[in-house]
Structure 1
Amino acid sequence: MYVPPAFRETDEAAIHETMRAAPLASLVTATADGLLCTPLPLLLAPEEGERGVLYGHLARANPHWRAPALAESLAIFSGPDAYVTPSWYATKRETGKVVPTWNYVAIHAYGTAEFFDQPDRLLAVVTRLTGRHEGERTAPWAVADAPADFVAAQLRGIVGLRLPIARLEGKRKMSQNRSAADRAGVAAGLAAGDDGARRVAALIPEG
């Protein structure tokens, strides 16, 4: 990922927060037959290894897990993003020398993917993933709510993923390269938009 110095995110806590907040990631692997990409929810275990470990699962019928990788796999996490119109810039009124852009947060996690199909490990992964996404519901569903034989049959249809993170790249492009007046205009413009735009507005640096 191309990351100019002004947009480089190095704070590990902020990187992990973006990864946890992303409901769906993309796993990309280079193989002899070309690139393979699978969208899937991933769970971060920051306490494991030097940089943390990602867990998830794929359908057993998905050829992604069977294809030998030519290099590290890449897990892509997308954070808040929004279009930025030049009309919000003070510079537009001053010189007119402005163009549209896009503000966004992106995290790339690299590592060697490991796949497994032991029932106990699979059950642990799906239980943790379910707990993560059901935990805030007033009446959360749990894996144990389903019949044990049904769960066992479902587990036979998936393969687990464990990806120890070898390196992380973080990019937070939030108008840091613009003047304070331009940033203020972007923040105000985004704040008047939808929920996604307002999330980006809150990330625009002040001053």
Structure 2
Amino acid sequence: MHPDPAFRWPKSANDHQDADERAALEAMIVDIGFGMVFAETPDGPRVAHVPVFSTGDGALQFHLSRGNALANHIANGKALCVINGPDAYISPDWYGIEDQVPTWNYLALELEGPVRKMEREGLISLLDDLSAQNEAKLAPKKPWHRDKMDAEKFDKMVNAIVGFEMEILAWRPTAKLGQNKPDAVREKAAAALDATGRRAMAHLMKEFGTR
């Protein structure tokens, strides 16, 4: 999380997040759907890049290949998951004011908590939830479902992975969108960024930079 309070979104204090703020963070998890999970192992810190699923009640689920360096060590310990949103380089020339430096704007969410290993039934439910959630984003395409697979082949694939659930005890969002700049300056930079094709970040700077 960025040390400047201006860039903490919605708030830095976990206990003071209201329902709308939590819903916005949950929506970010659903929209991006992918993160990096970090944890310590006997061989040092390791990271896994994984699709993630929020249960909506304070837990984050994911799965790892049995051969992953984290698979045998992450359960019953704490882990950190980072979900990255849009990001972009910001040129100081775009501000239209003197004595500025280059920077990088970004949206990110850090989640931390203890991890437990899921039973096979929970893992299969997670796989169903992940596919349903992401297939829905492809509408009007007809959703894929594992019923289209040979059941024996599906079982063999499930045997090759392990499911995990993190109890989220800390939500640490960062929205570095130029909030420390005057509105007109930030909007000028956003317009220049939009012209380079980085529309997602430009939109965030325009819409949420003053929140």
Q: Same fold (TM over 0.5)?
A: yes
- The structural deviation recorded for 1:68 is 5.8
Alignment of 1:9-88 (within 5 A): 9=9, 10=11, 11-47=21-57, 52-67=58-73, 72-88=78-94
Structure 1 spans left out of the alignment, 5+ residues: none
Cα contact 2:41–2:70 (8 A) shared by 1: no
- The structural deviation recorded for 1:180 is 2.0
Alignment of 1:41-190 (within 5 A): 41-47=51-57, 52-67=58-73, 72-91=78-97, 95=98, 97-116=99-118, 118-137=119-138, 138-190=141-193
Cα contact 2:76–2:114 (8 A) shared by 1: no
CA distance in 1, matches of 2:178, 2:196: 17
Amino acid at match of 2:55: A
Amino acid at match of 1:109: L
Cα contact 1:123–1:155 (8 A) shared by 2: yes
Which shifted more, 102-111 or 70-79? 70-79
3-state DSSP class of the match of 1:126? helix
TM-score, reference length from structure 2? 0.86
Distance 1:163 1:74, change over 3 A: same
- The structural deviation recorded for 1:37 is 0.4
CA distance in 2, matches of 1:2, 1:70: 28
Amino acid at match of 2:167: P
CA RMSD of aligned residues (A): 1.9
Q: Percent identity?
A: 29
Cα contact 1:21–1:79 (8 A) shared by 2: no
Distance 1:206 1:184, change over 3 A: farther
Cα contact 1:32–1:70 (8 A) shared by 2: no
Cα contact 2:74–2:115 (8 A) shared by 1: no
Distance 1:154 1:70, change over 3 A: closer
Cα contact 1:31–1:70 (8 A) shared by 2: no
TM-score, reference length from structure 1? 0.88
Cα contact 1:3–1:171 (8 A) shared by 2: no
Amino acid at match of 1:151: F
Cα contact 1:29–1:69 (8 A) shared by 2: no
Number of residue pairs the alignment of both structures matches: 196
CA distance in 2, matches of 1:13, 1:171: 15
List 4+ stretches of structure 1 deviating above 6 A: none
